[in-house]
Amino acid sequence: MSVRNLLIQGGTSLVQNAQGETNWSTKAIATSHACIDSITASSNDSARPPTMFDAGGLLVLPGMVDIHGDAFERQLQPRPDTFFSHDIALADTDRQLVANGITTACHGLTYSWEGGLRGRESAIALLEQVARQRKTAHVDHRIHLRFENHHIDGLADGLQWIHQGRIDFFAFNEHLPTIAEKSLSPEKLAVYSERARCDTNTYLRRLKKAQERADQVPYVIATLAKACITRGVPMASHEDQTFLQRERYQELGVNISEFPLTQEALLTAMGLGNQVVMGAPNVLLGGSHCGNLATEDAVKSGMCDMLASDYYYPAMLHAPFKLAHMGLCTLAQAWCLVAQNPARALGLEDRGHIRNGGRADMIMVEVSAAGTARLVATIAAGKIAYCADPARLHMPHPYELAA
């Protein structure tokens, strides 16, 4: 629902003052078009009567910024040998995001030597669809290019997309060794082949070709890193395992560690002053589903800067409440992990917080006595993108609009 002026009142809001301090407030929040116009104890003074949102009993929180999410792939290829068009898939993804309180989303576009879902044709289709739907989508959709380091033939494309300004976040992925090992299993090889939309023999040929060109990988990484620095694109290394890996990327200007796999890599990242991204699903599951580091432990020890949806959008909303309920941090601190910190990492200073002049991205949440959350509404760029309780909305009377 597009409204010119919106007044949110009655809720408890997590707001940021002019000094950058974050506090809880019961003041009303007024928006004008896509921005927060004021945070004040008085009613809206606009000559045009606002749409009122009764946030009584709710928390009003900054809209979430998802720095890494690839759940959209399931909308494109929900089952093996099925593939749906990008316009349908991204439209449905947009609805899923606002229904989970995510107002800015970096889609993890994996560009790999494997082909298929993660090949060139699919990558270009996603890039074009994100650009095409920008004016009609509720969420600010952005591209997180997850580049497989052994994709030598993809270097030219990667450089072109970076220089064209189509990439908002870049990650260096090193999945080939794991894929090579798992491909020894016929069952796993079949899964990889289905995703790549080819038979198993073709997939193995692609794998072998990538392995044979390993000597070119350092050049590819260095060239892409230089391009990102030139363009101002933030970079991450994915699934660091050792001190040497993280240090090597740091030397190239890659200062974000995305899902480090070992304590050694995590401690190295913190020692280097890097930012660390961990998975929100990991929090809800009580640990990594594949035996890696537990996000809860990283948060407790102060070694997690951001939470990402990874493969499950709902986790972004519920993970901060679980962390706070467990006493590992305050809710305000936990919310920084899904809003302010990822926004800053992406260079998006206009969001991730509720403050005068900021982008009007907010969510209204009902919290149970057990600490669980229910999303009631999502405001994205000043628009009511999702509302599970329309009775809380009060539109101005027609005669007021005509006055």
Contacts 24+ apart (CB under 8 A), 187-192: 191/80, 192/114
pLDDT at 401 over 90: no
241 — pLDDT class (breaks 50, 70, 90): very high
> What pLDDT, on the 0 to 100 scale, is given for residue 1?
63
> What pLDDT, on the 0 to 100 scale, is given for residue 170?
98
47 — pLDDT class (breaks 50, 70, 90): low
pLDDT at 256 over 70: yes
Q: List the structure tokens of 294.
A: 């537990």
> What pLDDT, on the 0 to 100 scale, is given for residue 48?
58
Range list of β-strands (E), 227-354: 235-238, 256-258, 275-279, 306-308
400 — pLDDT class (breaks 50, 70, 90): very low
Distances (CA, A) of 179 to 68, 113, 114, 150, 356: 21, 12, 10, 12, 48
For residues 354 and 24, give the distance between their C-alpha atoms in angstroms, rounded to a whole number: 11
45 — pLDDT class (breaks 50, 70, 90): low
Span 201-221, average pLDDT? 97
> What pLDDT, on the 0 to 100 scale, is given for residue 11?
97
Q: Per residue in 294-313, pLDDT tens? A: 999 999 999 999 999 999 99
Span 185-213, average pLDDT? 96
Q: Please report, rounded to a whole number, the percentage of residues in the chain having pLDDT higher than 70.
A: 95
- The one-character DSSP state at 311 is T
18 — pLDDT class (breaks 50, 70, 90): confident
* Average predicted confidence (pLDDT) for the chain: 93
Span 253-279, average pLDDT? 96
Span 257-262, average pLDDT? 96
Span 141-145, average pLDDT? 98
Cβ atoms of 171 and 258 within 8 Å: the answer is yes
Which run of H or E residues covers position 140? strand 140-148
Q: Per residue in 346-377, pLDDT tens? A: 999 999 999 999 999 999 999 998 889 999 99
> What pLDDT, on the 0 to 100 scale, is given for residue 267?
96
Query: What does residue 181 show for φ and ψ, rounded to 5 degrees?
Result: -70, -45
Q: Is beta strand 275-279 parallel, antiparallel or unpaired with respect to 35-40? A: unpaired
pLDDT at 7 over 80: yes
Q: The pTM is what?
A: 0.94
pLDDT at 220 over 60: yes
Q: Per residue in 92-127, pLDDT tens? A: 999 999 999 999 999 999 999 999 999 999 999 999
Cβ atoms of 28 and 50 within 8 Å: the answer is no
Least confident of 36-50, 151-165, 314-328: 36-50
For residues 396 and 394, give the distance between their C-alpha atoms in angstroms, rounded to a whole number: 7
